[in-house]
Amino acid sequence: MSRRLASRKHYPYRLPGTFLGMLLLLSLIPVLPGCGDDGPADIVGDPSWSVILEPEYTVRAVWGLTSSDYFTVGEFGSIRHFDHGIWTTWQFDYAKDLLGVWGSDRQNVLAVGENGVCYQYDGQEWIGRFTHSPTKLNGIWGSDWTNVYAVGDNGSLVYFDGENWSALDSGTDMDLYSCWGTGPDNIYVCGSEGTMRHFDGQQWESQETNIDQVLDSVWGFGPDDIYAVGGVGSIVHYDGVSWTPQYSGTNERLWSVRGLPGHEPVAIGKGGIFLTRGEDDWNPRIIAEGRYMYGMWDDHDSTILMTGYNGLLQRMTDPAWQIINVGHTHWIKGVYSPTCDRVYAVGKQGVVLQSQGGGWQNIAPPIEDVDYSAIWGEAEDDFFVVGSDGIIARYRGGRPWETWRLQSEANLEAIWGRNSGDIYAVGAEGTIVHFDGVSWETMNSNSGEALHSIMGRSRHEVYAVGANGTILFFNGIIWREMENPADDNTTLTGVWCREGMQTVVVGTSGLVLNHSGVLGEDTPWLVQDSTTQFSLYSVSGDGEGHVYAVGNNGVTIAYDGESWSPMSPGHHDRLNAADLDPCGNLIAAGHWGTILRHGF
């Protein structure tokens, strides 16, 4: 049983070369149109969504024909094909991760994952296949196209004969994670609690591994030289007679094991752990900046491919490593679009991205171990970023970054100012600091709640919102708490102010508060129907009263001055930040490095 599938997106782009660290992140990105002196010209049709920085999902498995022609699968239904420098990407069911991939040639490739999902590639398109498995399929292997096995949770074992899938009895109800063999009559399957099953061409039998830890991967050089790796650094070796535990030198979980002819095997896993087999023991070290490594494939000659967190893909060819795709090691938390053709974005792992020449460049200051959460500026070449441990940094054109660190080291979550001589930053435990153009000083917020957003209209009217329904108001002299008509357990995540005395606050569970009145002290907040129950994390608008909020599951809503209505970006990644550029285009950014644009 099969059904042809239309992917959510399908596009090729040419890989511009090796990525070195995070110096340059390139993706399929349209040139952002500028307004010119008179605004956008010759606008035709309705505004639409476009992707200006593609998300990079965690890659769980890889299989290829050669070291320059291979497929990867990963979280959120993502499949990618690398063909001699050109990437093609598909994304199917966002709710179902893909965990295994195997093929016999370019026209016959299978990908499996959650809920027993399977996609078959015929060289042109992917077709949905029914596997008869109701549970997650974790691994797949075949001796040829007419003899393929996939294994999964609760002992799930299914067989593909080149035409259809059928369910088999694995003889166990343990979760199974990996399948590998030397031929149709010598196949191994491993799983939880040290489970190892062997197929001799006639029946499946249990083998004793002498460990009780989960085994995530099985692979070997031949029938009498097989390795399995898994939890707490577990490694067992099969010599054709019995399995023997080996000392790994690590307690990290190992997700894959592989080797090249004439070389000792290697294993990868949690925290970027990389193990090489020595004469007596395994030797661990950390690679990939400590990021999780999941899948491996080798070309049976000289190259091993390794996949990992947030799109990470590395090639190991003796004697050198090559980073094919560094991946986005960050989640975007703040975005700033000072012009119609320039976007800045900040996020986890110290990233400050700048759109440039159809791609992205990381221009972050040289500060280690910082996660940036927000950005604010008054010009393209003058802006501030804030982040964890009280870090504040200012960018001014070609000058070196100017940096500060709060003595309290309180995490900062948001920043806003009227100009570069009147700026506020807020964060953990009610922290509020003010910048007068020369130095930062602490303000008494009269609150101990974490503050997530801040904005105002003047030095006499500033709002800060945060945990437990907190709304603070600054009248130019003191901060005071305002009454919130919503549930006190609701976290308020965004605030936006417009000339004309309108203030909008958003929060978890789709909460929207709207307030109009002089200085906002004596008139009540009104709870509005946001049209969504998904949590909202950011709000932005223009001077004409158009307001936009973004949040979980890619939800985006728009306010026209009277009511809210949903907008569908066609993406389900969590959106943490929103900003409007001078041309009125909405820029939204979030998890996995996603940056979207809505406009003409």
Q: Does any domain span residue 509?
A: yes
Q: Does any domain span residue 392?
A: yes
Residues 473 and 573 in one domain: yes
- Which mean pLDDT values do the consecutive 10-residue runs of the chain (600 residues) have? 45 33 36 38 72 92 96 96 93 94 97 98 96 96 98 98 97 98 98 98 96 97 97 97 96 97 94 91 92 95 94 86 76 96 94 89 93 96 97 93 97 97 98 97 97 94 96 95 86 91 93 78 82 97 91 96 92 96 96 94
φ, ψ (nearest 5 deg) of residue 463: -120, 140
DSSP 509-555: GG-EEEEESSTTTSSPPEEE--S--S-EEEEEE-TTS-EEEEEGGG-
Q: Does any domain span residue 479?
A: yes
* 217 contacts 246 by C-beta, under 8 angstroms: no
Per-residue pLDDT at 35:
34
Residues 356 and 265 in one domain: no
Q: How is residue 543 written in tokens?
A: 């001077």
Q: Does any domain span residue 300?
A: yes
Q: Does any domain span residue 51?
A: no
Residues 8 and 116 in one domain: yes
Residues 400 and 269 in one domain: no
Residues 463 and 365 in one domain: yes
Q: Does any domain span residue 48?
A: no
3-state SS assignment for residue 461 = strand
Which structural domain, as residue segments, surrounds residue 160?
Answer: 2-30+56-325
Last residue within a domain, chosen from 278, 310, 325: 325
* 184 contacts 223 by C-beta, under 8 angstroms: no
Q: Does any domain span residue 43?
A: no
Last residue within a domain, chosen from 325, 344, 364: 325
Residues 321 and 449 in one domain: no
Residues 181 and 316 in one domain: yes
DSSP class of residue 250 equals -
Q: Does any domain span residue 120?
A: yes
Residues 225 and 373 in one domain: no
Per-residue pLDDT at 41:
43
> What CA–CA distance (Å, rounded) separates 161 from 460?
74
Residues 362 and 452 in one domain: yes
CATH number of the domain residue 203 falls in:
2.130.10.10
Residues 339 and 318 in one domain: no
Residues 230 and 98 in one domain: yes
Last residue within a domain, chosen from 293, 325, 357: 325
Is pTM beyond 0.95? Reply is no
Q: Where in 54-160 does DSSP place strands (E)?
A: 59-66, 69-74, 78-83, 86-91, 98-105, 108-113, 117-121, 126-130, 137-144, 147-152, 156-160
- Look at residues 135, 117, 16 and name the one whose alpha carbon lies nearest to residue 73: 117
* 587 contacts 581 by C-beta, under 8 angstroms: yes
DSSP class of residue 224 equals T
Number of structural domains (the chain) is: 2
Residues 361 and 280 in one domain: no
Look up tokens 């078959």; give the residue: 120
User: Distances in Å between the alpha carbon of 268 and those of 42, 207, 281, 309, 442?
Assistant: 54, 24, 15, 12, 46
DSSP 395-410: EETTSPPEEEE-TT-P
